[in-house]
Amino acid sequence: MVVYGAFVFWTGYQVLREALTYFSWWAFFAALGLSSFNYVLRFLKWEFYLRRLQIKGIPKWDSFLIFLSGFVLTVTPGKVGEVFKSAVLESTHKVDLAKTAPIIIAERLTDVIAIVTLVVIGSLGFSGGAPWAIAGGVAVSVGLLLISWPVPIRRLLVRLKRGSLKTQALVPRLETAHLSLMLVAHPRALFLPTVLSLIGWGSEGIALNLLLRGFGETVPVTLSLFFYSTATLAGALVPVPGGLGVAEGLIQSQLIQLGGVAEGAATGSMLMIRFATLWWAVIVGFIALGLLKLRFPQLLLGSKQTQSTHS
């Protein structure tokens, strides 16, 4: 609230209010629809990874709700909190968390590949996209190197085995997680998830373009993709919750300085695209978690039960 309030204050309440007076609200609902479409595509990635790990017997509706429940912790640096869905899967269907947690790494890796691709597409004929494309390319290359080069992880596991009893107890689960990671993030398993990510994140870039049109601003779709992708990439690389402040600032400044968008429309579009993507995901996550609690009343109550047993 403080961050968004600062943007409103900087823009000027009256300026933003006047821009919203002429806003076509169909664009906002279209943006919500495109974001939701992205969630469906990301669910298909989740299903792909579960099949890759040979995890079977989970009803599709349960799997869908479990996947969406991970959005509860979307507002974490790099969205790593979405590993929460692995904890939910373990609680509801007894699937070892260590086996499915590496999915989050594969998801982020394919997302970065897709976003870098969108940055490159958006920067065609436009100067300024190269630095972000290079930054994303380096991140992708490092990630692929760490995944395909198992020597450092094996050495770490050997050291842990020689350590204290507590560290030795971690080794079996770490070995399980490493084997899963090699399966879901192997270069051969990257193509289909990356295509889904490309379509999904591209849809959210188009959502930004529709919001701009709702304010009466005409910006090429390629520029909208560039603005949204660079902001998303920066928000993922900077270790702040949900890229908060970083992504918003980049979207607004790029719209004004590079896109020639009026200040009120730029701030309004930025606020709406962040709600339609980041905060809409959190709301959807809580709804999904609530539905799961109805189906599985004991969901995530293991620690409380353990405490009552000990008492």
State the average pLDDT over residues 184-209: 88
pLDDT computed for residue 246 by the predictor: 83
> pLDDT digit string (tens) for 237-275?
777 777 777 888 889 889 988 888 888 898 899 999 999
| Three-state helix/strand/coil letters over 226-280 | HHHHHHHHHHHHCCCHHHCCHHHHHHHHHHHHCCCCCHHHHHHHHHHHHHHHHHH
pLDDT band at 3 (very low <50, low <70, confident <90, very high): confident
Average pLDDT rounded to a whole number, residues 170-180: 62
Structure tokens belonging to residue 266: 């730029």
Question: Quick one: pLDDT band at residue 215, thresholds 50, 70, 90?
Answer: very high
Q: How many CB atoms lie within 10 A of CB 232?
A: 27
Which of 57-61, 166-170, 285-289 shows the lowest mean pLDDT across its residues? 166-170
pLDDT band at 177 (very low <50, low <70, confident <90, very high): low
Global pTM value = 0.81
Q: In terms of pLDDT, which residue wins out, 219 or 302? A: 219
168, pLDDT greater than 80: no
Q: Residue 121's closest CA among 129, 109, 113, 131?
A: 129
Please calculate the CA angle 97-103-107 and round it to the nearest 5 degrees: 150
Residue given tokens 């972000």 in the structure block: 132
Provide the pLDDT for residue 131.
72
Question: Does residue 27 have a pLDDT over 80?
Answer: yes
If we measure between CA atoms, which residue out of 24, 23, 73, 106 comes closest to residue 281? 73
Q: Both tokens of residue 295?
A: 């189906």
Report residue 198 CA to chain centroid gap: 13
d(CA 162, CA 137): 37
Tokens linked to 165 = 């009893």
Q: Which of 68-82, 84-98, 123-137 has the lowest mean pLDDT?
A: 123-137
Give dist(CA 269, CA 263) in Å, integer: 10
pLDDT at site 210: 96
- Among 117-126, 153-162, 172-181, 240-249, which stretch is predicted with the lowest mean pLDDT? 172-181
Which pLDDT value is given to residue 78?
A: 62
Which token pair is 155?
């050495």
Contact present, 221 and 229 (Cβ < 8 Å) = no
d(CA 177, CA 15): 52
- Report how far apart, in Å, the C-alpha atoms of 75 and of each of 197, 202, 280 are: 19, 20, 11
Predicted confidence at residue 303, as pLDDT, reads 46
**What's the rounded mean pLDDT across residues 37-50?**
95
**Residues with Cβ < 8 Å from 307, sequence gap 6 or more?**
none
